[in-house]
Amino acid sequence: MIRVATAFSGGLAAPEFALKYSGIEHEIVFACEWDKYARKQYLQFHGKPTTFYEDIKNLCAKCYYALIDLFVFGSPCQNLSLAGNQKGLEG
């Protein structure tokens, strides 16, 4: 089983879906998403991870040393997201 952590997880959480649909057995050790609507959507799609951070600033990476196998994150999509400033690729 792969132990996974994600940051800037978003509502869809593409890495979690990729693992699920690839049939790869995994456990979500933690996810991190600040937007309350994206967190709600995440929970509907993927259930509750062991820990769900609301702010990346509260995440202590050293606490997870040797507890995760894969850490996946993307840059915040503030210009592309409805929750962001919606400037698109021009932002």
Q: Which of 9-18, 45-54, 61-70, 75-84 shows the lowest per-residue confidence on average (mean pLDDT)?
A: 75-84
How many whole angstroms separate alpha carbon 85 and alpha carbon 2? 35
- Over residues 67-83, the mean pLDDT reads 77
Active-site pick, 32, 60, 63, 77? 77
Phi-psi label, residue 27: left if phi above 0, alpha if psi -120 to 50, beta otherwise: beta
Query: Nearest Cα to 16, choosing from 57, 70, 76?
Result: 70
* 37 CA to centre of own chain: 13
Query: For this structure, is 32 an active site residue?
Result: no
Q: What is the pLDDT of residues 26-50, one digit of tens each?
A: 999 999 998 888 899 999 998 889 9
DSSP secondary structure of 20-52: HHTT--EEEEEEE---HHHHHHHHHHH---SEE
pTM over 0.85: no
